[in-house]
Structure 1
Amino acid sequence: MNKLLTFLIALLMCSTSWAAATITIVNGDPPGIGFNDPTPVTPVGGNTGITLGAQRLNAFQAAASKWGETLNSTVPIRVLATWDALPCTDTAAVLGSAGALEVFSDFPGAPQPNAWFGKAETNKLIGFDADPDTPDIRARFNVNLGQPGCFTGSPFYLGLDNQHGPYTDLVTVLLHEFAHGLGFQTYTDDQTGELLAGIPSIWDYFLLDTSTGKVWKDMTDAERVASAVKSGKLVWNGVLVTAAAQSVLQRGTPILTVLTPPEVAGVYQVGTAGFGPPLSSPGLTGEVMPVLDTPPDLGLACAPLSPINLLAVKGKIALVDRGVCTFVVKIRNVQDAGAIGAIVADNVAGAPPPGLGGSDPSIVIPAVRITQEDGQVLKQALAKRTRAHSGMFANLGVNLGVRAGADPLGRVLMYAPRPNQPGSSVSHYDTSATPNLLMEPAINADLTHEVKPPFDLTYPLLRDIGW
């Protein structure tokens, strides 16, 4: 690798950004490929390159400049970048990846002993390059995006103005991936819980499981494996991110609050519906009753409700099961039966619960989706009901005291889905954040090119870990 890098630096073009930090893009592509692609193109969105390769390099430079003007380091940050054939289909694609090539711990002046730091941050902290023969960050991006079989007809947008329309904005993807390389990740294996060489990442000092009160550095391997899939319970416990979230995240989190009986009372994660009225505050409170129309104890509500089910759900919040028919059919049927709201229990394990898709302007009652696991908890409690009453009362609403993407104490939620998503779990913000954040596991179309408050929470996290 060192010999290859020496060759690349000597022979290939480099691009440099000078600001609060200097970020150098080291072009690692062979002739005619990637940054060296001579295909003629028309300038677009402030990108004046006239070849495909030049426009790609300009987009990289724009992302490097944004991070360069944001960070503070006297040591240049080198990014070895290539355009490669990454996994891709017509409906899903790996857009790119980036990460630190080396990590260091217990160096002189380390702000936290017994913790791994990425090379770029280590250099910043010690004031010189810890390994001049190795670049700091390795970045790979999908050279085939937009080609047949790889998001056919939808290539990267190479403009610098974020006016990407239906395409994927390359500068946004680069800002995201560069952040990983700068330290927005753990070096601990989230699938096995194993620490790298027995040492926690600086990340693990801030990753808190609120169900156990432990941070990752203090857990066993098995505890970390379990924590990585505790959606809604894994938070970032850094003071700078928590403070910045007050100006970035929207007030109000959609929730299902079960009020009685005591054994199941509490707050449950929900996915909201794309139809019907949005959840509001103080929300809708009512008694919960299940629909039962298919053995064993499934309430699909895919047909108009029977007289017994109609009697059960009239004036109540109906609990139905996912499956067989669309969400809008289920909700319209319970609405026609007189239900004032609806809860859809998922039929497959996993968390957080996705939203309810579909469109039907005739639906006027609120509806949410809960996980299969939470649905089973509620059904078990509902087994003690009579034909007309359950004694389970719940509220479908928005908790204005909790920001979207944070826990009740204001700590920002981290992405911890069930099942584990290798490469995404733990090292991203949760998808519940509103507005969408740069460091969620997927690139959203409404992102800006900003990395700091009041628009984003990426830089505060890097500051929490020592930048």
Structure 2
Amino acid sequence: MSNKRTSLRHAAAILALACCSFGGAQAAATITIVNGNAPNAGFNDPTPAQAVGGNHGRTLGAQRLIAFQHAADIWGRTLNSPVPVRVAASFEPLPCNAEGAVLGSAGATEVFSDFPKAPKAGTWYPGALASKLAGKDMASPGEAHIRARFNSRLGLFPDCMPGSGFYLGLDRKAGDQVDLVAVLLHELAHGLGFQNFTDEGTGEFFLGTPSIWDHFLVDIRSNKAWVNMKDEERRLSAIGGSTLSWNGERLYKVTAQVLAPQPNLAISGMAAGQAGGNHKVGEASFGPQLGLNAVTGELMPVIDQANGSGLACTPLSPANAMAVRGNIALVDRGACPFVTKARILQNAGARGMIVMENTGDPVSGLGGSDPAVRIPAVRIDKATGEQLKSVMYRRSRTSSGVIASLGVDPDRLSGTDWVRRVRMYSPEEYSPGSSVSHYSVDTRPNQLMEPSINADLMHDVIPPHDLTYPLLQDIGW
């Protein structure tokens, strides 16, 4: 059959080479890094550096390259391809401010369809995967399969997350810094094919042709695959909330090996009303993990603001302290770190903390670290929080008649739908670059391919720790 190729519109052309390439050693697939930085910049930055976490490069640029090769070798040992994968990579200024930053980005530079040995006709495949399947390099002459960029300013300038730069060690001991190896593994996965080429904002196929991703992406409500939908159906599916799942056999078979039971808030009691039943929660990265032995108490709201909300960012008043003592406290998100709220509630005698979200975003975990926190903490969505506040409106100073139990649902796996398919990220507001091409944010333990890099990630891409490679196997790796 004749084959069709195209360069992706949003992918930049490969940069001129600044120095030689570096290839992975003794791997099932060779991943070659093509250094796209100019002299004295990025990978060639001559700033002296001390060895850190097994990375013995003597300059900032050398340590960046060593970390990149370390991540490339992890993927190289995992994949199987007769065609070396070329990654055009560079460190360069990316958008950032004092509070947040773009850590990096990567993606396929070209996509191909109807090539020799293509598993599905009329379907786009990313260049590295198409080359593996065809058994020959499908890339245009001089073109890399993947283009990757990473933020050269992170943590090094006062207007770019000062103090929170990339950790260049190889030992997962990043602390309050950003683990570069984890970021690299994440972005390389995108370039290998953990991405959709359909426009999620409009629902339009790229140049009128579906991608291999569209064959496996399923709307939970209709059980309809994206490849069989119309443009408007796909557009609405991408912003449906927790409504998208991955319908691939390889991923499905190993999901239970990796994901833990879903954290759960069970509401009961004589005053529970319509709020009664089980509710999804996002678990905190601090404090004790939720388990089968639930932590139970009456639910009581903290009210320390003029508008009736409760932030718990300062020591509780005597009335609030009396209300939460021995009970589960409900507080609002905002104004201070989650660990601060938890410490204050713990000091007041609360048995647990529930944080109500202040946006319509899907439920996600609570970030932060504090070994002094000994009470469980979770996040609930805004709608659930408002419902709970409503049923607690007629309460006494020490009792609400609403019972909250923080535990797990043994019949559900975190981040999955009712038939245990892993859900994909589909926030109610379209998020370019994040929607659809990531796992849901409520997987437990955290997964490499969630839209944000979490501090507890392993440098792993396979079960029993991670589900990235099984999804890539579904699309042909």
Return the TM-score normalized by structure 2.
Answer: 0.78
Cα offset for 1:29? 1.3
Secondary structure, in 3 states, of the residue corresponding to 1:412? coil
Which region of structure 1 is more displaced relative to structure 2, 420-429 or 401-410?
A: 401-410
Match of 2:361 in 1: 350
Q: Distance in 1 between matches of 2:463 and 2:373?
A: 40
Q: Distance in 2 between matches of 1:145 and 1:167?
A: 10
Which region of structure 1 is more displaced relative to structure 2, 96-105 or 204-213?
A: 204-213
**Is 1:178 aligned to residue 188 of structure 2?**
yes
**Is 1:237 aligned to residue 250 of structure 2?**
no
Match of 2:144 in 1: 135
Match of 2:64 in 1: 56
Cα offset for 1:205? 1.7
**Is 1:157 aligned to residue 167 of structure 2?**
yes
Q: Percent of counterpart pairs with the same letter?
A: 50
The one-letter amino acid paired with 1:120 is: A
**Is 1:112 aligned to residue 123 of structure 2?**
no
**Is 1:407 aligned to residue 417 of structure 2?**
yes
Cα offset for 1:20? 1.3
Match of 2:37 in 1: 29
Given candidates 48, 62, 73, the residue that maps to 1:40 is 48
Given candidates 10, 21, 25, the residue that maps to 1:14 is 21
Match of 1:271 in 2: 282
Match of 1:201 in 2: 211
Cα offset for 1:426? 1.7
Unmatched segments (≥5 aa) in structure 1: none
Match of 2:223 in 1: 213
Cα offset for 1:180? 0.5
**Contact residue 365 and residue 442 of structure 2 kept, 8 A:** no
The one-letter amino acid paired with 2:86 is: R
Match of 1:459 in 2: 469
Does the C-alpha gap of structure 1 residues 323 and 6 become closer, same or farther in structure 2, counting only changes over 3 Å? closer
Cα offset for 1:210? 1.7
Partner deviation per Cα, 1:185-210 (whole Å, 9 max, x = no partner): 11122233222122222112222222
The one-letter amino acid paired with 2:362 is: A
**Contact residue 282 and residue 442 of structure 2 kept, 8 A:** no
Cα offset for 1:45? 3.4
**Contact residue 172 and residue 458 of structure 2 kept, 8 A:** yes
Given candidates 249, 257, 261, the residue that maps to 1:247 is 257
Which region of structure 1 is more displaced relative to structure 2, 409-418 or 422-431?
A: 409-418
**Contact residue 342 and residue 373 of structure 2 kept, 8 A:** no
Q: Distance in 1 between matches of 2:70 and 2:85?
A: 15
Does the C-alpha gap of structure 1 residues 268 and 222 become closer, same or farther in structure 2, counting only changes over 3 Å? farther
The one-letter amino acid paired with 2:234 is: R
Q: Distance in 2 between matches of 1:371 and 1:7?
A: 44
Does the C-alpha gap of structure 1 residues 232 and 262 become closer, same or farther in structure 2, counting only changes over 3 Å? farther
Unmatched segments (≥5 aa) in structure 2: 1-6
**Contact residue 199 and residue 205 of structure 2 kept, 8 A:** yes
**Is 1:397 aligned to residue 407 of structure 2?**
yes
**Contact residue 335 and residue 363 of structure 1 kept, 8 A:** no
**Is 1:373 aligned to residue 402 of structure 2?**
no
Secondary structure, in 3 states, of the residue corresponding to 1:205? helix
CA-atom RMSD in angstroms: 4.1
Does the C-alpha gap of structure 1 residues 393 and 421 become closer, same or farther in structure 2, counting only changes over 3 Å? same
Partner deviation per Cα, 1:17-63 (whole Å, 9 max, x = no partner): 24211211111111221122233334443334333322222222222
The one-letter amino acid paired with 1:398 is: V
Q: Distance in 2 between matches of 1:270 and 1:455?
A: 21
**Contact residue 14 and residue 26 of structure 1 kept, 8 A:** yes
Map 1:247-326 to 2 at 5 A.
Answer: 247-250=257-260, 252-257=261-266, 267-272=278-283, 279-281=290-292, 283=294
- Which has the higher Rg, Structure 1 or Structure 2? 1
Match of 1:68 in 2: 76
Match of 2:3 in 1: none
Match of 1:225 in 2: 235
Q: Distance in 1 between matches of 2:51 and 2:112?
A: 42
The one-letter amino acid paired with 2:263 is: P
**Contact residue 334 and residue 342 of structure 1 kept, 8 A:** no
Does the C-alpha gap of structure 1 residues 354 and 169 become closer, same or farther in structure 2, counting only changes over 3 Å? closer
**Contact residue 300 and residue 324 of structure 1 kept, 8 A:** no
**Contact residue 326 and residue 349 of structure 2 kept, 8 A:** no
Does the C-alpha gap of structure 1 residues 434 and 375 become closer, same or farther in structure 2, counting only changes over 3 Å? closer
Secondary structure, in 3 states, of the residue corresponding to 1:397? strand
Given candidates 133, 141, 146, the residue that maps to 2:155 is 146
